[in-house]
Amino acid sequence: MRPNLLLALACALLSGCTTTSLGRVTPGLQSTASIEKAMDGGLIGRELGKGLNTRERRLALQAEYTALEHTPGGKPVTWQNDGGTWSGEVVAAQPYRVGSQDCRQYKHAVTGTTGTREARGTACRNEDGSWTPLT
């Protein structure tokens, strides 16, 4: 058996791994803390997240990670806080290759009581499953 196939089979059996939309098997980032670390604040960690509380920022950051890691290009990933005051939508473009890394452009729109604001960025995926924002 090929080494990649063995790794995929082992991960499937152990459930600590996920298969990404980019066709790689990586250690699963299941906890909120690991996603926060993997995204290095993402777009929501900047001006876009102004006015959001900690829980809302986490929901938004998880949506960014899901859009980049698991969602086909052009498909929205949405989030909403419990009270419905804040919501958002993240849309990632198709992945492209830069050297040995897969990268994706993405946009995140946040809607709240003051209207909708949007930010765009690019992130590249590291071998450990984390995403490094470039912009």
pLDDT tens per residue across span 31-82: 566 776 777 788 888 889 888 999 999 999 999 999 999 999 999 999 999 8
DSSP lists the bridge partners of residue 80 as 87
pLDDT at 112 over 60: yes
- Residue 45 included in any domain: yes
Domain membership flag for residue 46: yes
Per-residue confidence (pLDDT) for residue 15, from 0 to 100: 33
Q: Is residue 52 part of a domain?
A: yes
> How many domains are contained in the chain?
1
| Cβ atoms within 10 Å of 132's Cβ, excluding its own | 14
Considering the entire predicted model, what is its pTM?
A: 0.74
Which residues form the domain of 123?
29-133
What's the mean pLDDT in 16-44?
57
Is 58 a domain residue?
yes
Residue 101 three-state SS? strand
Residue 15 DSSP code: S
Whether residue 90 lies inside any domain: the answer is: yes
